[in-house]
Structure formats: structure tokens, C-alpha cells
Amino acid sequence: MKTPGYVLIGLGHWSIETTLAVFAIGLIITFFILYYCFRGLGWLIRLPARLKKTRQNLAL
């Protein structure tokens, strides 16, 4: 019988147990969620400058 890989993460009183496949998929999904959150945050930070530039171009 083949057994899948096993991942155990402990932090303080908390522990998470899962198979390696589920952990890898969760890690990939978490990466993309964080990636798009940071991209969106960067977009929001640059938004006021873009709006100012657009208003200046429309005024010309």
C-alpha cells in the first residue's frame, strides 16, 4: 500500500496535519492569492497619481 507524504505544521498550541499533495495545492493557491492582493494594493497606491495625471491631460 502506498502512503502519501505527510505534512505537520505546529505553531504554539495549534497544529495542522495534511497530505503533501493538499499542502502543495494550498501553498500554490495561497501564493496566487497573496500575489494578486499585493498587485491590487500597488494599483490602489498608484491610483491617485494616475487620476491626477488623467485630469491634467483632460484639462489641456
pLDDT score of 40: 97
Model confidence at 1: pLDDT above 70:
no
User: Over the stretch 6-57, which tens digit does the pLDDT of each residue have?
Assistant: 999 999 999 999 999 999 999 999 999 999 999 999 999 999 999 999 998 8
pLDDT score of 9: 94
Alpha-carbon 17 to chain mean position: 22
Give me 38's grid cell: 499585493
- Torsion (CA) 32, 36, 41, 45 in degrees, nearest 10: 130
pLDDT score of 59: 79
